[in-house]
Amino acid sequence: MTYSTGEIWLIIAVLGAGTFLIRFSFLGLIGDRPMPPLVLKLLRFTPVAVLPGMVAPLVLWPAATGGAPDPARMIAAIVTVAVGIRARSAIWGIAAGIGTLYLALWVFAIR
Amino acid sequence: MTSSTVKSPATSAYWAGVRDGSPFVLMAVPFATLFGVVATDAGLTVAQAMGFTVLVIAGAAQFAAVQMMMEDAGIAFVLLAALAVNLRMAMYSASLVPYLGAAPLWQRALVAYLNFDQTYITSVARYEARPDMRLQDRVAYFLGVATPITPLWFVMTLVGILVGSAIPEAWALDFIVPIMFLAMVSPMLKSLAHVAAAAVSVSVALAFVGLPSGTGLLVAAAAAMVTGAIVETWIERRKA
């Protein structure tokens, strides 16, 4: 790394300010002014539109295996989703997913 | 106001948030520690690494920025890449407006500072499940979710900087994040429209995985939201 101290602090300051402005953007500017029904309808899908796409590449091509598909991680992902939907609970999904991950890693390691 | 031991609704909403945010400690501890280790290895001082964690407070963007700084990328590229990783949070910001838009400006600013994946998803899931929540309860709940995560994120970064030893690979920590995100989003797949949106999100994100810095994810998210809205409208028309 060859940046000067000032350059490093510049990066940190701009990233901090920029990230805050991204997070504040709509919440800060719109406030309680009403939004069009179509926009509200689109926004209701934000969580299910962002997270699955964010996670999918990590499930199929995990960085820890150098991008090679890993059966243990894939099984853990499937169990997490199945339990999360069935139990309607993130906590149970997390517990089942992590339990399955370690069990599957252990099973595949001794084979 | 007869007794101070009686919890006001806002107080109980806050503690419900603390409870629901607690599992993310599992995620914050190893990743904050790891960031401390990586930032120190990259050559950042204690103050700089802590500055990153406290001012930016977004794990994925912090790692992306430090990674590019280790490669001596141009400053503009470091900034663009890390900010692009965070652009999904503009969607989070917009989607919180119907729930929190009427809160005082300072509360909205505080929520914005603390608006990352875990606090956002957990809170929106609660707001959706309980449409009759009062405004101050919603704010209290959001701050409650952030309470177990955020201070620990700061402290464990410092521990990583000072102790600075890598975490054994056998712990498969890389996969704790995907599991947590999948577990958070699965209970929200409550209609055909939500399932269709998620399916489009996955397909488009995988198709555009080669695009730099999460831009593929933004395209995927936009396509998925449109899909969800179209399917929902279609179902409503068929019912009518």
Per-residue pLDDT tens digits of chain B, which is 240 residues long: 444 455 677 889 999 999 999 988 988 888 888 889 889 888 899 999 999 999 999 888 898 888 888 888 889 888 987 888 788 899 899 999 999 999 999 999 999 999 999 999 999 999 999 999 999 999 999 999 999 999 999 999 999 998 876 666 667 777 888 898 899 889 889 899 999 999 999 999 999 988 876 788 889 999 999 999 999 999 989 987
Q: What share of chain A is helix, strand, coil (3-state, %, to 5)?
A: 80, 0, 20
Q: Are B187 and A84 in contact (CB under 8 A)?
A: yes
Q: Do B94 and A85 make contact, defined as CB atoms within 8 angstroms?
A: no
**Domain assignment of residue B230, yes or no:** yes
Residues B49 and B144 in one domain: yes
Distances, alpha carbon B189 to alpha carbons A81, B23, B91, B138, B164, in Å: 10, 21, 18, 22, 40
Q: How many CB atoms within 10 Å of residue A109?
A: 9
Q: What is the pLDDT of residue A40?
A: 87
Residues B198 and B148 in one domain: no
Nearest Cα residue in chain A from B87:
A22
Nearest-CA distance from B85 to chain A in Å?
10
* Model ipTM value: 0.86
State the pTM of this model: 0.84
Nearest Cα residue in chain B from A75:
B179
**Domain assignment of residue B183, yes or no:** no
Q: How many domains does chain B contain in total?
A: 2
Nearest Cα residue in chain A from B102:
A32
Residues B135 and B212 in one domain: no
CA A64 – CA A27 distance, rounded (Å): 37
Q: What is the pLDDT of residue B78?
A: 87
Question: Which segments of chain B are extended strands (E)?
Answer: none
**Domain containing B133: what range?**
9-171
The vertex-B53 CA angle with A43 and B149, nearest 5°, equals 65
Q: What is the pLDDT of residue B165?
A: 64
**Domain assignment of residue B214, yes or no:** yes
CA B197 – CA B187 distance, rounded (Å): 14
Cβ contacts of B56 within 8 Å, gap of 6 or more: A12, A15, A16, A19, B62, B65, B82
CA A78 – CA B25 distance, rounded (Å): 23
**Domain assignment of residue B33, yes or no:** yes
Residues B119 and B223 in one domain: no
Q: What is the pLDDT of residue B1?
A: 42
**Domain assignment of residue B38, yes or no:** yes
Which of B51, B58, B228 faces A49 most closely, judged by CB atoms?
B228
Q: What is the pLDDT of residue B103?
A: 96
Residues B31 and B111 in one domain: yes
Residues B113 and B159 in one domain: yes
**Domain assignment of residue B26, yes or no:** yes
**Domain assignment of residue B62, yes or no:** yes
Q: What is the pLDDT of residue B31?
A: 83
Q: What is the pLDDT of residue B4?
A: 46
Q: What is the pLDDT of residue B213?
A: 67
CA B141 – CA B123 distance, rounded (Å): 7
Per-window interface: B 113-152 vs A, CB < 8 A: 113, 115, 117, 120-122, 124-125, 128
Q: What is the pLDDT of residue A65?
A: 83
Residues B24 and B52 in one domain: yes
Which of B172, B182, B189 faces A55 most closely, judged by CB atoms?
B182
Q: What is the pLDDT of residue A49?
A: 93
**Domain assignment of residue B236, yes or no:** yes
Residues B161 and B210 in one domain: no
CA B94 – CA A39 distance, rounded (Å): 9
Distances, alpha carbon B96 to alpha carbons B7, B34, B73, B144, in Å: 26, 30, 35, 16
The amino acid at B161: I
CA A102 – CA A108 distance, rounded (Å): 10
Count interface pairs A-B at CB distance under 8 A: 294
Residues B101 and B20 in one domain: yes
Q: What is the pLDDT of residue A89?
A: 82
Residues B193 and B105 in one domain: no
Q: What is the pLDDT of residue A103?
A: 94
Q: Helix or strand or coil: residue B44?
A: coil
Ranges in chain A, pLDDT < 50: none
> Is A107 an 8 Å CB contact of chain B?
no
